[in-house]
Amino acid sequence: MAKTITRDVTCPSCGKGNAVKVYIGINTAEDPQLKASVKDGSLFVWECLHCGARHLTRSQLLYHDPDERLMVWLLPENFLSPQQEASVKATLEKHFINPENGLEGYSLRRVASIGDLIEKVNLQDAGLDDVVMEMAKWVTRNEVADKDRAHAEEILRAPFRFYRMDGPDNEIQLSFPLSGAMQVVNIGFNVYEDCRGIVQRNPSMKPQPGFVRVDADWIARFLQ
Ligand SMILES: [Zn+2]
């Protein structure tokens, strides 16, 4: 069963109070339709009863896909105090790393935004590894910056995101914001394969047990 809580939230548009249902835990095997709602973002949208404005929820969420052995813990920045965060993390890891629970072999990931969670789910659906993809994004970001010297600084700071894999050659589409507009860059599957080879040859690039943030900062530690 999905876990929800009801939270009293003030509408940022009209200032009136709402009782908003917020998901804090979902299991995609039990509720496959909730996976679709994560992917299109609708799981996180609430509508004000008074003015109809739509806003995004801000909450923790434990996303569990038992078939894919994937667990993603969404925890927005500064949502919990450092002590609360450490305590929740310890509780989760005690449960999910404990071999007695039959949960070994899981990918445990931590993300700080809804967009990051959606990207993890999209990667899983495409059968792609997120460590390899972070490296492919790193390589691509540097190449794009090299070709567009005028915007190089902005490009090197931009968050690149896996969007989808498409076509007979498994072309990979990444998106990134530039000067207020979303850009799409296509990379060949060979870029991903090259990165996969490097990751496989470097055991230190295997995430540690526990809820790890595999993101641009994480991969940069190995590449700079
Ligand atoms: Zn409102």
The pLDDT tens digits of the residues spanning 202-219 come to 999 999 888 999 999 999
User: Does residue 193 or residue 69 have the better pLDDT?
Assistant: 193
The pLDDT tens digits of the residues spanning 44-97 come to 999 999 999 999 999 999 999 999 989 999 999 999 999 999 999 888 888 777
Percent of the residues in the chain that have a pLDDT greater than 70, as a whole number = 98
Torsion of CA 78, 134, 211, 120, to 10 degrees: 80
The pLDDT tens digits of the residues spanning 10-52 come to 999 999 999 999 999 999 999 999 999 999 999 999 999 999 9
pLDDT of residue 94: 82
Using the mean position of ligand 1's atoms as its centre, give its distance from the Cα of residue 54 in Å. 8
Mean per-residue pLDDT, 115-124: 96
Are 124 and 68 a contacting pair, CB within 8 Å? yes
Using the mean position of ligand 1's atoms as its centre, give its distance from the Cα of residue 75 in Å. 25
Are 160 and 141 a contacting pair, CB within 8 Å? yes
To which H or E segment does residue 163 belong? strand 161-166
- What is the Cα–Cα distance from 126 to 123, expressed in whole angstroms? 5
Mean per-residue pLDDT, 116-120: 96
Cα distances from 93 to residues 54, 83, 98, 109, in angstroms, run: 34, 15, 8, 11
What is the layout of strands, in order, in the sheet containing 181-187?
161-166, 171-178, 181-187
pLDDT of residue 130: 96
Using the mean position of ligand 1's atoms as its centre, give its distance from the Cα of residue 58 in Å. 16
Using the mean position of ligand 1's atoms as its centre, give its distance from the Cα of residue 24 in Å. 23
- What is the Cα–Cα distance from 23 to 167, expressed in whole angstroms? 35
Using the mean position of ligand 1's atoms as its centre, give its distance from the Cα of residue 178 in Å. 32
pLDDT of residue 102: 66
Using the mean position of ligand 1's atoms as its centre, give its distance from the Cα of residue 9 in Å. 10
Using the mean position of ligand 1's atoms as its centre, give its distance from the Cα of residue 51 in Å. 4
Burial of 210 (0-12, 13-18, 19+ CB in 10 A): middle
- What is the 8-class DSSP label of residue 18? E
Strand extents, DSSP E, 50-156: 54-56, 61-65, 70-74, 107-111
Using the mean position of ligand 1's atoms as its centre, give its distance from the Cα of residue 25 in Å. 26
Tokens representing 210? 């526990």
Mean per-residue pLDDT, 105-120: 93
Closest to 212 measured CA to CA, from 91, 133, 110: 110
Average pLDDT of the chain?
A: 93
pLDDT of residue 1: 74
